Amino acid sequence: MDMEHVWLLPAIPVVIFAVIGLFGRLLPRGGDWLAILGMGAVTVLAALAIVDFQGDNIAVWSEEWMKISDGSRVVELIEISTYVDSITVVMLTAVTIVTLMVMVYSVGYMAGDSRYGWYFALLSFFAAAMLTLVVSGNLLMLYLAWEGVGLASYLLIGFWWEKQSAAEAAKKAFITTRIGDVGLLIGIILLWRGSGSFDIQEIIHHAESGGFDQTYLTITMLFLFAGAVGKSAQFPLHVWLPDAMEGPTPVSALIHAATMVVAGVYLVARMLPVFDTVLIARDVVLYTGLITAVMAASMALVTSDIKRVLAYSTVSQLGFMFVALGVGAVTAAMFHLLTHAFFKSLLFLGSGSVIHATEEQEVEQLGGLRRKMPATTITFTIGAIALAGIVPLAGFWSKDEILVAAQEGAPAIAYITLAATAVLTAVYSTRLVLLTFWGEPKNRSVHEHAHESPPVMVIPLLILTALAVVSGFVALDGVGEALGFAGGIGEVVYEGAHGHAYALNETVAIGATIASLFGIGLGFIYWWGCAARAEAARNWAPELHALLVNRYYIDHLYQATIDRVILGLSGVVGWFDRRVINETGVDGSAQGLGYFGLRLKFLQTGRIPNYALAMAVGVIAIALVAFGTN
Amino acid sequence: MTPDDGYVLLALFLVPLLSGVVLMLIPSRERSVIAAFTAVSSLAMFGLSTYVFVAYDYTSAEQFQGVRAWDWIENAGLLGEHGIQLKVGVDGIAAAMVLLTGIVIMAGTWVSWKIEHRSKDFFILLYVLVAGVYGTFVMLDTFVWFFFYELALLPMYLLIGVWGSTRKEYGAMKLMMMLVAGSILIFTAIFGMVSATGAGTFDMEVMFRLAPDIDRNTQLLLFPMVAVGCGTLAGLFPFHPWSPDGHAAAPTAVSMLHAGVLMKLGAFGVIRLGFQMLPEGAEFWAPGLIVLGITGALYGAISALRQDDLKLMTGFSSVSHMGYVFVGLGTMNVIGMSGAVLQMFAHGVMTALFFLLIGGMYDQAHNRDISNFSGMAKLMPVWAVFFVIASLASFGLPGLSGFVAEVHIFIGIFRAYPVIGGLAVLTAAITATYLLRMFATAFFGDVNPRWTGLSDITRAERAAATVLAASIVLLGVWPSWWVDRISTTIATIPGVTL
């Protein structure tokens, strides 16, 4: 496909959204086939565009959106524009494939839902917004799409809004990310203020030629990064993502694992040349990622809800990507983004298959499902191994890239923390697989009506499994060459100072593999068969366990802040408005006037002698004053 | 626009006035005739308004278009030639406001058909009010301008006092007293300006030419009188307390017109009499306007967080959004001030939609405390969808009207005062918080069995809501129709930086 027509990619789903949204009730099957056909077309078009992609960065298409002029001269021009480069290509690959898989899977998962058609309309809307985000060439349009995916996420988390918990989770997700978005919008406007443009390439050019003041740019990039922190659920704004699991599971797979939550990573990768000019801001990215990676992984260890474990895992893996960006390794970040999109959406869809079959998502109630759900068991296990980073599955290659980058470009603490997190990742992956699929069923009634999911759900699982196995190979020169990009992904994603051909660093690779195997071993020791050892793990350090179960008390802290500080302030302001401004200022002045009127009316007695007396006093007073001044 | 279009501008306020007269002749019991007649007449107003907006040629060098004048009093006393005249004409700002009025009055008429108590009288007063609004927007003579300004305010007292709810006498009285107090300031300022220019005429075009040369001290004195006088009507903090109570008390269509259009009349007055005539005064006091504006924006949003009454929440929300208008005006640059006018339009359609929906629900439930409701999205799905659209526009979701306005204001204020810009962006997040809190409580969750009798909004309400929602989307997606007209006019204001 011609690059000039890349705007078609978001245009198709937005039209489908409108059609299903308005006329879905008249269409057979609520219009799900239309959404899937449309997404299929988008996937094909994107594939054609990717094949055509020549490897150079190209600005493609722009159109005036609004302009400020004084009649003759244009003062301010705001455009919408598309832009395609290698980062876009990686994003397009992940977004189109996962969206299509999730849509197909949803036909089975959402069957019989009362808002079935509306669900597919929302998925199309999300796809449109996400694709706009990916292809946009300027920051204002990116912000537009950024809020669009946020809205889609809000509506889909709250899709079953009859449940109060879903409504609350949707609210929490939107408001938390919105706090980050305040920073994002401030950052975008500050960039515009310094460079006079919203165009990303112009801003990068301006920064690289030293057009910004360093302090100004540092502050600006930190604001911008706040947006990424919110969207990608990084510490301290990570709290919304686990709650977002209230949404339908395919939505979690699509939005909260593979696509929307990586928008923050995408934004920082896109703006990395600017971050490179202010290294303090880049260090903030690095340490934010690092703290998040280890913190989220530790919480995943003790979580008993199968989807929440995966949610923490996602937060942790996003932390890995930010660490890579923090050391400037954009290739490693984008590579991990791609493989993670495949194996994490696989894991989520697998968990969805379990939930669909058992209507249960507490691992304490599951167990022994391997006999009843063989396909789900195998695909989920492969996904978990990929997550743990065992050669030759996808996760191994991309995580290895990040570890190498951290070892080369960051203080030793970063590398050590990441390695420790890799162990934790292997432990919780193993725990999740063992508790869900192995051992004996813990709840007979749940186990009894469990069954394998229908083919429409299993086939996407199989396709994603295949991708989780092979997508790591794009790092290899030979595979890259066969796919049309010589040198593997390392050459493609970034040219210039960051680019390098993939070379396996044996020390790191062997170290990481040992770490992962050690983690898997730990998982087996504690959760293989014997419940007593799992109990022992829990009681090993009760305070630590309580800290993790309570999510480091961060949610409690935020809730208390909202209840006490923010609503308290609102109460004070409301009281001030009613009592001081309104009752004292407005009503008070009215009553004051009324009071004076009440008093002064007694001067009007209606008796002539009184008036005559007052007149006489007045005349004498005026006469005295007149004489006095003369 | 040609000078002959002046007759269209004349028709803008004659149509509602004459409609009022015709309504007087229709017997009150003929409700269907009244409905049919008001349908035609509101459609005519909408059509004329749209024509004015579309016909305004922003590429022309003429700032005021469709100018026509008829002398009333001249060469008498202080007055010289063309002393007081009926003079009509619009610039880009007025054209946008005329369109806003057309949209809101049409929607407001449709939702008022279900009023049963003295419906004829209601429409008469409503149309007198609208005649005043149109007159203010198109009049180019300060004396007659003030007449129409007052004509727009006074019917309010009866409309709220007779057809209102919730402490209606108190709300009506407070609203009237505060606005009339503001009018005294405006009236004094107008005479001050006319006397200071010394031209012996109230003609605005003459005053636009001469008033900027008024000596600095007089300008410094007159500008705050205009800003506070008109600002009271625009909900300028701390002169806003009439707004929440007034809105809570007013009947649906009156709330729609009042928050949707009348508050804009105040901001329009600040631009017309203040910024366009008193550039030195404006420049001196602009930082003060920004401070009051951002205070109002934050203050309204924070107050709205805890409000339980939907109308009070929307009332405080209006204070908050109108705060943005003053922030934008205070920037004194083209992009920020254009944003202010865009915000006037955007807030107008959005808040009209809010009040329409709240009214549609209140008429059935006779209750509008958020905490009393839950699961409303199930009971009134269409209603809920429209409410969500209005809310998304309210907290500035890109692609809807609010964002276009806000982004202009933000860019303008960041150019002038970045820290206040940061606070302005933060306000948008607080707005999202109180609206989403309301959704989570009232719209979602289990259906409260107490309200199972509620039915979705009526067909007329749906049509009206569709018109308003369509305006929200249009401004959000094709902003250039508005931005072109407004920004070229803003650029002609003396003292405004590009």
Tally of domains within chain B: 1
Instruction: Label residue B454 by pLDDT band (50, 70, 90).
Output: confident
Length of chain B: 498
Is the pLDDT at B351 greater than 70? The verdict is yes
Cβ atoms of B364 and B454 within 8 Å: the answer is yes
Structure tokens at A348: 């989520």
pLDDT per residue over A612-626, tens digit each?
998 999 999 999 998
Is the pLDDT at B27 greater than 50? The verdict is yes
Contact A148 B377 (CB under 8 A): no
With contacts defined as CB-CB under 8 Å, which chain B residues touch A193?
Answer: 411, 414-415, 418
Looking up tokens 């706040």 gives A226
List helix spans (H) across A438-474.
Answer: 444-448, 455-470
Looking up tokens 């009613």 gives A578
Is the pLDDT at B31 greater than 90? The verdict is no
pTM: 0.91
Q: How far is A458 from chain B (nearest CA, A)?
A: 33
Tell me whether residue B475 is in a domain. Answer: yes
A567 in contact with B, Cβ within 8 Å: yes
What phi and psi values does residue A58 have, to the nearest 5 degrees? -135, 130
CA distances from B457 to A141, A195, B140, B254, B366 (A): 35, 49, 41, 18, 14
What phi and psi values does residue B338 have, to the nearest 5 degrees? -60, -40
pLDDT per residue over B172-193, tens digit each?
888 888 899 999 999 999 999 9
Q: How far is A617 from chain B (nearest CA, A)?
A: 34
Interface of A with B in 108-147 (CB under 8 A): 140, 143-144, 147
Tell me whether residue B497 is in a domain. Answer: no
Tell me whether residue B116 is in a domain. Answer: yes
Per-residue DSSP letters for A553-620?
GHHHHHHHIIIIIIHHHHHHHHHIIIIIIIIIIIIHHHHHHHHHHHHHGGG----HHHHHHHHHHHHH
Q: How far is residue A257's CA from residue A345's CA, in Å, rounded to a whole number?
A: 6
Q: How far is A162 from chain B (nearest CA, A)?
A: 4
The predicted pLDDT at position A478 comes to: 58
The predicted pLDDT at position A496 comes to: 42
Tell me whether residue B495 is in a domain. Answer: no
Cβ atoms of A332 and A412 within 8 Å: the answer is no
Q: At what angle do helices A506-527 and A412-437 cross, to 10 degrees?
A: 40
Structure tokens at A123: 């998925």
With contacts defined as CB-CB under 8 Å, which chain B residues touch A147?
Answer: 397-398
Q: Which of A70, A178, A182 sits opposite B498 (nearest CB)?
A: A70
Calculate what percentage of chain B has a pLDDT beyond 90: 52
Structure tokens at A106: 């949803």
Tell me whether residue B158 is in a domain. Answer: yes
Q: How far is residue A213's CA from residue A521's CA, in Å, rounded to a whole number?
A: 52
Q: At what angle do helices B6-25 and B31-55 cross, to 10 degrees?
A: 170
The predicted pLDDT at position A448 comes to: 81
**Segment (H or E) for B195:** helix B168-197
Q: Is A320 exposed, middle or buried (0-12, 13-18, 19+ CB in 10 A)?
A: buried
Contact B397 A585 (CB under 8 A): no
Strands (E), B357-418: none
State which amino acid sits at residue A495.
E
Interface of A with B in 147-176 (CB under 8 A): 147-148, 151, 158, 161-164, 166-168, 170-171, 174-175
Instruction: State the DSSP code for B141.
Output: B
Contact B174 A574 (CB under 8 A): no
Q: How far is residue A273's CA from residue B357's CA, in Å, rounded to a whole number?
A: 48
- Report how many helices (DSSP H) and strands (DSSP E) chain A contains, helices first: 29, 2
Q: How far is residue A63's CA from residue A80's CA, in Å, rounded to a whole number?
A: 5
Nearest residue to B444 (alpha-carbon basis) of B453, B452, B436: B436
Tell me whether residue B430 is in a domain. Answer: yes
Q: Which of A69, A175, A193 sits opposite B487 (nearest CB)?
A: A69
Contact B444 A166 (CB under 8 A): yes
pLDDT per residue over B217-234, tens digit each?
999 999 999 999 999 999
- Report how many helices (DSSP H) and strands (DSSP E) chain B contains, helices first: 20, 2
Q: How far is residue A582's CA from residue A55's CA, in Å, rounded to a whole number?
A: 65
Nearest residue to B140 (alpha-carbon basis) of B304, B336, B3, B314: B3
CA distances from B298 to A35, B107, B290, B301, B421 (A): 42, 30, 12, 5, 12
Give the sign of the dihedral formed by CA A281, CA A282, CA A287, CA A288: positive
Q: How far is residue A406's CA from residue A327's CA, in Å, rounded to a whole number?
A: 7
Q: What is the mean pLDDT of residues B416-440?
A: 90
Tell me whether residue B321 is in a domain. Answer: yes
Structure tokens at A273: 């040349």
Q: How far is residue B57's CA from residue B65's CA, in Å, rounded to a whole number?
A: 8
Length of chain A: 630
Q: How far is residue A78's CA from residue A56's CA, in Å, rounded to a whole number?
A: 25
Q: How far is residue A386's CA from residue A377's CA, in Å, rounded to a whole number?
A: 14
Q: Which domain holds residue B357?
A: 3-490
Q: How far is residue B209's CA from residue B64's CA, in Å, rounded to a whole number?
A: 13
Calculate what percentage of chain B has a pLDDT beyond 70: 100
Q: Which residues of chain A have pLDDT under 70?
A: 1-2, 54-59, 69-72, 477-503, 530-532
**Segment (H or E) for A61:** strand A58-69
With contacts defined as CB-CB under 8 Å, which chain B residues touch A69?
Answer: 484, 487-488, 491
Contact A75 B335 (CB under 8 A): yes
Contact A69 B446 (CB under 8 A): no
Cβ atoms of B268 and B136 within 8 Å: the answer is yes
Note the ipTM here.
0.91
Cβ atoms of A43 and A74 within 8 Å: the answer is no
Q: What is the mean pLDDT of residues B272-290?
A: 92
Q: How far is residue B488's CA from residue B169's CA, in Å, rounded to a whole number?
A: 43
Task: Name every residue whose Cβ is closer than 8 Å to that of residue A369 and which is 6 or more positions away in sequence.
Answer: A354, A357, A358, A376, A377, A436, A437, A441, A447, A450
Instruction: Label residue B389 by pLDDT band (50, 70, 90).
Output: very high
Nearest residue to B377 (alpha-carbon basis) of A432, A470, A159, A121: A159
CA distances from B419 to A187, A285, A312, A546, B290 (A): 12, 24, 36, 41, 12
B57 in contact with A, Cβ within 8 Å: no
Q: Is A531 exposed, middle or buried (0-12, 13-18, 19+ CB in 10 A)?
A: exposed
Nearest residue to A103 (alpha-carbon basis) of A188, A54, A41: A41
Tell me whether residue B496 is in a domain. Answer: no
